[in-house]
């Protein structure tokens, strides 16, 4: 078990990861068709681009994209047909959540996020409760088994904590700071959202299945 745990840690360290703590809200300013793919021109004036290199990864609404060119205020990213087919919010002009990839010496303020969307959910309730807001989302049934009370989930790239879950619908409480500094403030009933479940849940499932497999001699 210790060896398997070590492999899990090394997998996290060796991969491109994010924290789900949004660094700024940018704007997709131009979408250029490239066959069945698209190229995005994204304004990122609130993002420190001094340490960015061509080929670096930036999460856009929770989707890990590669910066193919950039300057201090904009970057371009190529989005494939496959990525477009399993995500939302990358095919038109809009505001987007942005986060640069995690470095090993960075603080992990949220949770480990890969930038690989597991499914598209739908907002079923977005209502104010005092100073906060209640956000209920219906997740695709195939991934709802990975969502647990007090567990983490990324919604459009934002690291959030699940308060309750019933069947495929989970509930989140949003504080004013999160709304003010992310695009979640623009959600409404019926809005589609990118969802990424906690990676640890997938590893636990794999380890459980592995433990149940017959041992070959």
Average pLDDT, the chain: 90
Question: What residues have CB less than 8 Å from 159, skipping those under 6 apart?
Answer: 19, 20, 21, 109, 110, 111, 113, 152, 153
Q: What is the pLDDT of residue 123?
A: 98
Per the CB < 8 A criterion, the answer to whether 162 and 151 are in contact is yes
Per the CB < 8 A criterion, the answer to whether 40 and 79 are in contact is yes
* Residue bearing tokens 């496959």: 82
Q: What is the pLDDT of residue 15?
A: 65
Is residue 122 within a helix (H) or strand (E), and if so which, with residue range? strand 119-129
Of residues 184, 188, 196, the one with CA closest to residue 97: 184
Q: What is the pLDDT of residue 76?
A: 98
Quick one: how far is CA 7 from the chain centroid?
23
DSSP string across 9-45 = HHHHHHS--B-S---EEEEEEEEEEETTEEEEEEE-T
- Torsion over CA: 74, 15, 148, 109 (sign): negative
Task: List, for residues 83-126, the tens digit of each pLDDT value.
Answer: 999 999 999 999 999 999 987 666 666 688 899 999 999 999 99
pTM for the whole structure: 0.87
Q: What is the pLDDT of residue 45?
A: 95
Q: Residues of the chain whose pLDDT is less than 70?
A: 1-15, 104-110, 217
Q: What is the pLDDT of residue 55?
A: 96
């Amino acid at each position: 078990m210790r060896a398997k745990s070590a492999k899990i840690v090394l997998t996290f360290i060796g991969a491109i990861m994010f924290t789900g703590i949004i660094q700024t809200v940018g704007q997709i300013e131009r979408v250029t068709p490239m066959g069945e793919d698209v190229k995005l021109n994204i304004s990122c004036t609130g993002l420190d681009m001094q340490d960015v290199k061509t080929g670096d990864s930036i999460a856009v609404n929770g989707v890990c994209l590669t910066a193919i060119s950039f300057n201090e205020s904009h970057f371009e990213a190529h989005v494939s047909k496959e990525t477009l087919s399993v995500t939302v919010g990358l095919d038109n002009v809009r505001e987007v959540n942005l986060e640069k990839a995690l470095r090993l010496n960075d603080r992990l303020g949220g949770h480990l996020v890969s930038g690989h969307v597991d499914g598209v959910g739908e907002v079923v309730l977005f209502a104010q409760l005092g100073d906060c807001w209640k956000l209920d989302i219906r997740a695709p049934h195939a991934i709802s088994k990975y969502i647990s009370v007090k567990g983490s989930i990324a919604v459009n790239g934002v690291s959030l904590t699940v308060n309750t879950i019933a069947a495929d619908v989970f509930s989140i409480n949003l504080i004013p700071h999160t709304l003010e500094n992310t695009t979640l403030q623009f959600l409404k009933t019926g809005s589609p959202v990118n969802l990424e479940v906690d990676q640890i849940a997938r590893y636990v499932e794999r380890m459980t299945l592995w433990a149940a497999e017959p041992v070959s001699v």
